[in-house]
């Protein structure tokens, strides 16, 4: 039972098969661990693999099922982005700074998934401290896209996206600060959801930019994400930014039709950055949703073009503050034989942080400095409010927005490594969602050649159920989300 087709691929199908006792959780876990061992050296999607923990959790799930105590997610495997703290297991953020750090506690997301009976296969590779759009900024080496091993999977959750695309895990956790769930989901041909800010607890999720970071699910289908959101979402008294809302069943509206739905098409997304084939894929998706009963409405987001500069000022400023704790004194990498305290600080940080992290710390420190705070940081926050207002006005007339997730398909490894500005522009359609704190979802559309294309749905606050409903209905109609790279057949 080691082949790619021996087990159902989606989480939903696996849950049904486990409930029907077609196989055990131990057998399913062994299937994925065998594939990881055999195929991941070519993809590099995992930093740590946890067979002992995985088998212990799988056996516990099988025992609970035998007693009639299994829940909807009991015994189902997942991959965990290496930014979520896990007790006794390395949590590295793909950085030399934390290369050997083992967390003494579980993040709330990890705890919730464990309590639901899920099986953690391992910790996935990522851009260092979640800073990047290609997953080339990792101390443990770049992740490769299963659709073309010479191309990037996107970032920062590229390891999670590549693992799901290569069928090394059915689902995975990710984090999204400026597009880091949606962008790699688009480039790897899977589905990813960035929830409303505060929907998913950030406790135990190592911070990059605290007012922007948000954890979320990644998988093959919207239905799979809905199942995960039932466990991942929820208020958390340990997280001061956690939203207090009653529990929701994110699967409850999936089957509802799209009749009467108003879908906005932002004209600013069809700009000079967007490749013609992706624009055609978005237009085709819009036509499909219209056939399913939705009405298409032209809308405007006048300040969308300011999202990238505003985002990189705000995010870099918050990164500068959050990463100041890594100083070589309390934990993390420490340089050898420092001459004095200043040498300890400077060499530990220079050795521990990679080039992209250092670049953002420097930018963030600059924009927060006394002489430039008003000109840069305050101005970026004012632009952020304008972007929020644009979305608020749009949602007075429409229910959701539809557009591209990325301006192009996956680019080649190293292609943009020496051009940070071009790299940053790969998030041009995603960063505004984070600045506004809105939910966003990326789902596969018609591919361009052999490379996936991501379609982005943006909802109003706490509109995740509607996004998942639309994506589910679209996926039932098209089936693009089930396309698999040739690599997954190995």
Catalytic residues: 81, 156, 180
Q: Given its phi and psi angles, is residue 66 left (phi above 0), alpha (psi -120 to 50 degrees) or beta?
A: alpha
Written as six digits, the tokens of 314 are 């705000």
Written as six digits, the tokens of 231 are 């466990």
Q: Which whole-number Å values give the CA distances from 331 to 110, 328, 349, in the listed order? A: 22, 6, 12
The rounded distance, in Å, linking the Cα atoms of 416 and 422 is 7
Q: Which whole-number Å values give the CA distances from 348 to 92, 137, 337, in the listed order? A: 16, 18, 11
Q: Which whole-number Å values give the CA distances from 165 to 48, 159, 208, 249, in the listed order? A: 18, 10, 26, 26
Residue from 9, 49, 48 nearest 28 by CA? 9
3-state secondary structure labels for all residues of the chain: CCCCCCCCCCHHHHHHHHHCCCCCHHHHHHHHHHHHHHHHHHHCCEEEECHHHHHHHHHHHHHHHHCCCCCCCCCCEEEEECCECEECEECCCCCHHHCCCEECCCCHHHHHHHHCCCEEEEEECCCHHHCCCCCCCCCCCCCCECCECCECCCCCCHHHHHHHHCCCCCEEEEECCCCCCHHHHHHHCCEEEECCCCCECCCCECCCCCCCCCEEEEECCHHHHHHHHHHHECCCCCCCCCCCCCCCCCCCCCCCCCCCCEEEEEHHHCCCCCCHHHHHHHHHHHHHHHHCCCEEEEECCCCHHHHHHHHHHHHHHHHHHHHHHCCCCCCCCCCCCCCCHHHHHHHHHHHHCCHHHHHHHHHHHHHHCCCCHHHHHHHHHHHHHHHHHHHHHHCCCCCEEEEECCCCCCCECCCCCCCHHHHHHHHCCCHHHHHHCCCEEEEECCCECCECCEEEEEECCCCHHHHHHHHHHHHHHHCHHHCCCHHHHC
């Amino acid at each position: 039972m080691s082949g790619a087709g021996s087990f159902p691929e989606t989480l939903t199908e696996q849950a049904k098969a486990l409930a029907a006792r077609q196989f055990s959780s131990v057998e399913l876990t062994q299937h994925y661990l065998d594939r990881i061992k055999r195929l991941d050296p070519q993809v590099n999607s995992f930093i740590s693999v946890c067979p002992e923990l995985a088998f212990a959790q799988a056996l516990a799930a099988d025992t609970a099922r035998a007693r009639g105590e299994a829940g909807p997610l009991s015994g189902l495997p997942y991959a965990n982005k290496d930014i979520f703290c896990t007790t006794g297991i390395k949590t590295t953020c793909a950085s030399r700074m934390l290369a050997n750090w083992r967390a003494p506690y579980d993040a709330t997301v990890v705890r919730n998934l464990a309590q639901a009976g899920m099986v953690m296969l391992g910790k996935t590779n990522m851009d260092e401290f979640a800073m990047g759009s290609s997953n080339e900024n990792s101390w443990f080496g770049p992740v490769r896209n299963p659709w073309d091993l010479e191309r990037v999977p996107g970032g920062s959750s590229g390891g999670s996206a590549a693992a799901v695309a290569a069928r090394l895990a059915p689902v995975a956790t990710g984090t999204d600060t400026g597009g880091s769930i949606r962008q790699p989901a688009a480039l790897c041909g899977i589905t990813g959801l960035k929830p409303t800010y505060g929907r998913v607890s950030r406790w135990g999720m190592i911070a990059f930019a605290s007012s922007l970071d948000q954890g979320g699910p990644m998988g093959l289908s919207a239905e799979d994400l809905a199942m995960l959101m039932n466990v991942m979402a929820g208020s958390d008294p340990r997280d001061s930014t956690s939203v207090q809302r009653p529990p929701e069943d994110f699967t409850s509206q999936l089957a509802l039709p799209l009749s009467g739905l108003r879908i906005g098409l932002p004209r600013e997304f069809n700009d000079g950055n967007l490749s013609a084939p992706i624009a055609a894929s978005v237009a085709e998706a819009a036509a499909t949703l219209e056939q399913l009963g939705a009405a298409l409405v032209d809308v405007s987001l006048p300040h969308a073009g300011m999202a990238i500069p505003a985002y990189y000022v705000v995010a870099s400023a918050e990164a500068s503050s959050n990463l100041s704790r890594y100083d070589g004194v309390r934990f993390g990498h420490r340089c050898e034989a420092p001459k004095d305290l200043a040498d300890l600080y400077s060499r530990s940080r220079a050795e521990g942080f990679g080039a992209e992290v250092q670049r953002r710390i420097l930018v963030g420190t600059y924009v927060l400095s006394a002489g430039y705070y008003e000109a840069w940081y305050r101005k970026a926050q004012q632009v952020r409010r304008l972007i929020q207002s644009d979305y608020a006005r749009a949602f007075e007339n429409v229910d959701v927005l539809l557009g591209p997730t990325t301006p192009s398909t996956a680019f080649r490894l190293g292609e943009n490594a020496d051009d940070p500005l071009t790299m940053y522009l790969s998030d041009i359609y995603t960063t505004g969602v984070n600045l506004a704190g809105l939910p966003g979802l990326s789902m596969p559309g018609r591919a361009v050649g052999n490379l996936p294309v991501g379609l982005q749905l943006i909802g109003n606050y706490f509109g995740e159920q509607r996004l998942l409903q639309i994506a589910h209905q679209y996926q039932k109609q098209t089936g693009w989300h089930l396309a698999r790279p040739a690599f997954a057949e190995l």
